[in-house]
Amino acid sequence: MATTNRPKPAAGRVAAAVVSCLVLAALVLPVPVRTEIIVKLEVTAERASVHLEPRINSPVLETLSRGAVIKLSSGTKFRTNWFYVQFASARSGRMLSGYVLDAAVRKLNSTLKVVDLTPAATVLSDPKEFDLTAGRMPAVAWGMSGDGVLKAEGRPVSREQSGDYEFLRYRRDVFGKRCLILYVLANRRLVSVRVSLLENYADKDRYVADYNIIREYLNRKIGEPRYDNVVWKDRAYAERGETLGMAVTSGSLSLSSEWVTGDTGLRLSLTGEPSGILFAAEINDIKAKNPASF
């Protein structure tokens, strides 16, 4: 079931909206699972583009050739026909994650069960609240150059190039929380900023509570969202009276809201998948020739 609110006039300047928006983004939190069933996909199309987001106009992380084998990171399809996958970049050698159209790949028959021996992320039983009144903000000015980002933020943790796109990552404290900040540049100009919260909550209901806190905060700063969706994939789960946090974790429930103010778009979402909870927000320059996703 999905509900949608029609737009109300956006309030405030773009700068204020961006400051308000930069609370969360791209949040992928690992769950303390020690075993994993690995499903492999083979590229069957002549060429398959792996996108940053499940949208055809999203930045292309890398283009894979026919016969390439990649890992399926989630059994759930996104936006009907997108797989979330993981692969080793032929350019950098790093493991990257992104989205590929299901028509471009096929599942291999064999699966592999492995034991994860890496230390699990620290589980927080009593995480602190977001401090929305203070905190360092990422530098944002649509169209700024990569040098402008470097001048404002300093040396990045990583810097990657993919076609016309460049990705700069930083670890910073934002609103009292440790975060990973991602700057996306298209044709050397800033078009998107995302922030990842690097925390793992023991109480999964806390994610839903934080989603509602941030959503209401943005409503006060920007106005009502143009879209506000609550989607149950499995209504029987809701009827069993399980908690919302567990419903999100199982993939039965997803939440999302979208705002637009001036030349800035924001999408906030909360979804679940086998690899963890995805609590995501993205801020985009909607006037960019090739916006990251809006």
Which residue has tokens 């399809």?
A: 77
Residue 41: HSE in the Cβ half-sphere, 13 Å Cα cutoff: 27
Q: What residue segments make up the domains of the chain, in order of their start? A: 14-32+120-285, 35-115
The type of residue at 105 is V
| Residuewise pLDDT in 10s, the chain (294 residues) | 444 444 444 334 344 444 444 444 333 343 333 344 568 888 988 899 999 888 898 888 899 988 888 888 777 788 888 998 888 877 766 778 889 999 999 887 544 444 443 445 688 899 888 888 865 566 578 999 999 999 888 999 888 887 788 889 888 887 777 777 888 898 899 998 887 777 888 999 998 998 898 899 899 989 999 888 888 776 676 677 678 898 888 878 888 888 998 888 888 888 776 557 777 778 888 887 544 444
Residue 252 and residue 30 in contact, taking contact as beta carbons nearer than 8 Å: no
CA-angle at 289, arms to 6 and 155, nearest 5°: 105
pLDDT value at residue 2: 42
- Does domain 35-115 fall under CATH 2.60.40.1180? My reply is no
* 5 C-beta neighbours (distance < 10 Å), count: 13
